Amino acid sequence: MKLCKRCNKLISYPRVYCTKCEAVVNKARAIQLNELNNNRGRGNSKGRAYRDPKYRRFYKSKQWHDLSKSYMLKQHYKCEVCGAIASEVHHKEPIQTPSGWNKRLDYNNLKAVCVRCHNKEHNRFNSRKKDVRN
């Protein structure tokens, strides 16, 4: 004999839960499994939704990798906004606009930035609480 894991009633050895608790636990597991299956594959769906394959293809191209690497070397990996260590290259004029697309490989349209400044440039991860207070 041993105790039920949930309610501490005496039960026979191979079992883990008494009959009442087993029904409750199985129901909870079914709900969790259903929620898990419903949410599968939804990670970062907002980020993928706005990204057109045209832009994804561009950012994966050898031309962009070579250009961004040479630009970062020219800037000595320094953020042009705050002076911290830069890890990303930002397009001053977004490539989603027609004129920005034409300037996508233009050296004068680039800026070396750190992650923090890049997020500020794109208005990412701003908490709503800050917006309410201001």
Residues 6+ apart with CB under 8 A from 74: none
Quick check: 45 pLDDT over 60? Answer: no
Quick: pLDDT tens for 13-35: 899 999 999 999 999 999 888 88
Mean pLDDT across the chain, nearest whole number? 86
Mean pLDDT of the 91-115 span: 93
Query: Nearest-CA neighbor of 104 among 115, 118, 89?
Result: 89
